[in-house]
Amino acid sequence: QVVGGKVKKPGKRGRKPAKIDLKAKLERSRQSARECRARKKLRYQYLEELVSSRERAICALREELEMYKQWCMAMDQGKIPSEIKALLTGEEQGKAQQNSTKLAKVGKTEANSSNP
């Protein structure tokens, strides 16, 4: 059969399958299965670690929420928890320190600008 100047042979198209050694094929299959199981094991270990870390974070957040609930109940009764007082006084001291450092910086820049 001649098509477009080329001789075509009847039969199957494409490459002929090479004779594959059956033992080598089975060994490759076993190796692939071992690697797949190892990847699966690593994936499950990673997911278990992720779940446990998220569970620890959830417990910590629940404890924090409970603490805030207790603070709110105390404030509803007219009591200010000592932790809140400490936070407020800590913020006031922090603001005072910030103001003093700002004033010191302004003083330095004014002194530098007044010198010719």
Block mean pLDDT (10 aa), the chain, length 116: 59 62 89 98 98 98 95 91 85 67 58 52
DSSP summary character for residue 76: H
- Pair 35, 41: CB distance under 8 Å: no
pLDDT for the residue numbered 28 = 93
Q: How many Å apart are CA 43 and CA 49, to the nearest integer? A: 10
pLDDT for the residue numbered 105 = 62
pLDDT for the residue numbered 82 = 87
Q: How many Å apart are CA 28 and CA 22, to the nearest integer? A: 10
Domain boundaries, the chain: 22-84
pLDDT for the residue numbered 20 = 67
Q: How many Å apart are CA 105 and CA 114, to the nearest integer? A: 14
User: What torsion do the CA atoms of 72, 76, 78, 83 make, to the nearest 10 degrees?
Assistant: 0
